[in-house]
Amino acid sequence: MKLDPLNTARPSAFVELAMRLEADHEQIKAMCSALCQQSIHHATGMSSYVTIQGLIELRQEAEALLGELQRHSQWEEDELFPVLMHYSHKKIEPTIMPSLWVLEKDHELAVLYIESFIRASSTLLHAWRLEPISGADLQSGLKEGCDCLTQGCFILTAHFQMEEELLFPLAEEILTDMDYLFS
């Protein structure tokens, strides 16, 4: 959905919410895609040599992704979903609540996988600080953690796709109703 705030009968706070939803999704999907590529690269041993620095950087990027997810989720809960729920409850049709619940469970599952990678990387880094470990042992531990990170990224990408399929049509409907009301 590409929204143009100037192409509505009455630009509103809801247009800004819809545009932020779209922008946030694009940003987080890009972060997720880049992280997934790096994770697959490390997990498959495409890198001829695994470094502790590479592991630290991958972990930092996973933590940054979790931070962005937390910020985005909080914004959705505080600002976006109340507006959407208010609008959907005024209709005779079934509400979107069951669909949002399923989406929330997908989100939670993705976060669990990403957190599993962060725990695995912490364990590897802690073991390395105590006694340097071989490249083979590091690669083996990294593969296991990266598999979790990759799975979390895949789930998260699917989560955003499903959320967009649910919320963008509803946002378009709200914007259309607002245009009819104020034109």
Q: Residue 92's pLDDT is what?
A: 45
CB 115 within 8 A of CB 147: no
Does any domain span residue 136? yes
Whole-angstrom distance, CA of residue 25 vs CA of residue 141: 31
Q: What angle do CA 80, 83, 88 make, to 5 degrees?
A: 120
- The CA-to-CA distance between both ends of the chain, in Å, stands at 22
The residue with tokens 């991958």 is 58
pLDDT, tens only, 110-154: 999 999 999 999 988 888 888 877 767 777 888 889 999 999 999
Does any domain span residue 5? no
Domain interval for residue 128: 14-62+76-87+95-182
Number of domains composing the chain: 1
Does any domain span residue 9? no
Q: Residue 48's pLDDT is what?
A: 45
pLDDT by 10s per residue, the chain, length 183 = 454 544 555 556 777 888 888 899 999 999 999 999 999 888 876 554 567 788 899 999 999 999 999 999 999 889 888 887 777 665 545 555 557 777 888 899 999 999 999 999 998 888 888 887 776 777 788 888 999 999 999 999 999 998 888 877 777 777 776 666 665
Does any domain span residue 109? yes
**How would DSSP label each residue in 31-54?**
HHHHHHHHHHHHHTT-SSS--HHH
CB 90 within 8 A of CB 122: no
